[in-house]
Structure 1
Amino acid sequence: MPSLVKFSHDRNIASVRLNRPERHNALVPGLLDDLRNCLELARGVAPDALVLSAEGRSFSTGGDIGGFMEHTENPDELLAYSDRIVGALHEVIIDLLEFPAPILAAVNGPVTGGSLGLILAADLVAMSEIAFLQPYYGVVGFGPDGGWTALLPERVGTAKALELQYLNSRLSARDALRLGLANAVVPEGGIEDQIDAWTASIADMNANTLKATRANVWDRARIAAVRERLDQEKRRFLERVTAPDTLEGMKRFTGRP
């Protein structure tokens, strides 16, 4: 079975690429395990920067609801699966926040659900003009995870973070740029050029200064506070996932009987 995440290293830039394009890089435990392993490999080569990207036309559409649906007949199994996948996603987010070098995200397409956390943990975000961000929690019935309440309010303000989730708003790439969730919007197919430009600029800087800057921003106290809020997200996700209205929401969303 091919790896669900690819790792490469070139010219002191580490690259981690989601590789489940046939399912829009939707999150499953195997992908998150591979992602954590690749992040450990990336840390081991001590790069000047890390590039996070994805195969296909979507960056990642959050947790694969099909994976949850496989366990809906047994509440204990559904809880165990949910605990594993949400816990793994949150550990990935912490891994990214603790990463010692700048993180660049190449967002080639839609980002929905908990996959937003991968973007919120990055430092420079380039979005294709076809990309968008959207929660979908209120549509399905899940509790928000992946930093929608743990990280997003600090970035866009409490009122805007609540509005986006209450109304299931779709943020275009331009909207994301305006709110400070993206640093550049590029034409479809032009995202690699933007990433190359950023890595070239980083190569001209003192790498240790950039690493010190990131370490100052994401110090132990700040990461501990994020972890506490992510743990709260997971607790409420687990409270919601076996509720009858959530089970109905999953069926309705996937079109399954």
Structure 2
Amino acid sequence: MTSAGERPRVLTAADGDVWRITLDRPETGNAIDPAMAAELAAALRARPDDARTVLLLGNGERFCVGGDVRAFAAVDDPGSYVGQLAHDWHQVVRALLYCPVPVVAGVQGAVAGAGIGLIGACDIVVCARSTRIRPAYGAIGYSPDGGSSWALTRALGAPRALELMLTNGALTAAEAHMFGLVARLVEDEEVHASAIALAQSVAAGPVRAMVRARALVRQAAVRTLEQQLDDEARLIAESAGDPEGREGVRAFVEKRQPDFRGAV
């Protein structure tokens, strides 16, 4: 029998045109170690060409508690170990940020440490109502990584993000929703089913236009209105000339539902 330390940390499955990726170290709260980082990066690279949405889930009671602190304690040179792990994990975050299709996540139980950066890199996060979100770095004397400082500052603003990080505080799911860190709240027992249904719905839409919209939203906070207007004009022209845009306009004129899956 394969031990928990040897079995895969990440599971993948094609569910129609949704590429489902599931963190599978439930006995550790899906804690991040080098194998988890490598397998998640590989899972994102392995997305089939016909998959129109990525769905990220976590098995067990907790979505992701961040880095595997027990592993940190067991190494002789934690600085080198943690630094390399952060580098590898940041490649995962970048892969999510620049994924060619929309990314949906369903989270439950606990999201901590680098797990916050993970959900911050996703496009839509469905969150169970009992979830707690905690930076947790200060509790072990570490500064943030994984994009968690970016995600929290973007959602909460600098004063609230600092208060949360410097006091080792936590957000409830309702607070995370209010601040915009997560997009939807659902009952605990519904989180995976709701995230799956949402991912399937997104996959039926104009995914290339969605990716253009994602780029505009992410740039809006750091650009002038003039710069944003220029990019909006460029990207809507791309969308209008794209088979998706052509199909959407035809469907509107013909008073029918558009078939974006066939718009290639």
Which residue of structure 2 lines up, in the alignment, with residue 198 of structure 1? 198
1:60 corresponds to which of 64, 68, 86: 64
Are the aligned partners of 2:110 and 2:132 in contact in 1 as well (CA < 8 Å)? yes
Q: 1:128 is matched with which residue?
A: 128
Q: Which residue is 2:233 aligned to?
A: none
User: Which residue of 2 is the match for residue 188 of structure 1?
Assistant: 188
Confirm or deny: 8 A CA contact 2:17 2:200 kept in the other structure: no
CA offsets 1:109-132 (integer angstroms, 9 cap, x no match):
201111111110011111112211
Q: Could you say what secondary structure the match of 2:188 adopts?
A: coil
Q: How does 1:1-257 map to 2 (within 5 A)?
A: 1-42=6-47, 44-71=48-75, 74=76, 77-217=77-217
Match of 1:249 in 2: none
Give, in angstroms, the shift of residue 208 of structure 1: 2.4
Residue deviations 1:72-99, cap 9 Å, x none? xx3xx32221121111111111111010
How many residues align? The count is 215
Shift, 1:213, TM fit: 2.2
Deviation at 1:200, TM superposition (A): 4.0
Please list the CA deviations of residues 187-245 of structure 1 after superposition, one character each: whole Å capped at 9, or x if unmatched.
Answer: 121012322332343244222222332344457xx8xxxxxxxxxxxxxxxxxxxxxxx
Measure the CA separation in 2 of the matches of 1:132 and 1:15. Answer: 23
Change over 3 Å in CA distance of 1:65–1:145 after alignment to 2: same
> 2 CA distance for matches of 1:99 and 1:139?
32
Contact 1:100 1:214 in 2 (8 A): no
- Distance in 2 between the 1:150 and 1:9 partners? 31
Deviation, structure 1 residue 46: 4.3
Larger Rg: 2
Take 2:65 and 2:86, find their aligned partners in 1: how far apart are those partners?
14
The CA distance in 2 between the partners of 1:108 and 1:154, in whole Å, is 21
1:151-204 per-residue CA deviation (whole Å, 9 max, x = no partner) reads: 321222111111111121111111111111111111121012322332343244
TM normalised by structure 1 equals 0.78
RMSD (Å) for aligned C-alpha atoms: 1.7
1:151 counterpart SS class? helix
Secondary structure of the 1:8 match is strand
Structure 2 residues not aligned, in runs of 5+ = 1-5, 223-264
- Where do 5+ consecutive residues of structure 1 fail to align? 223-257
Q: Quick one: which amino acid aligns to residue 70 of structure 2?
A: G
- Which structure has the higher relative contact order (CA within 8 Å, separation 6+)? 1
The answer to whether the Cα contact below 8 Å between 1:148 and 1:161 also exists between their aligned partners in 2 is: no
Q: Aligned partners of 2:200 and 2:30: how far apart in 1?
A: 28
Of 11-20 and 80-89, deviating more is 80-89
What SS does structure 1 have at the residue aligned with 2:100? coil
Deviation at 1:4, TM superposition (A): 0.5
Q: How far apart are the structure 1 equivalents of 2:199 and 2:115?
A: 23
Q: Distance in 1 between matches of 2:146 and 2:196?
A: 28
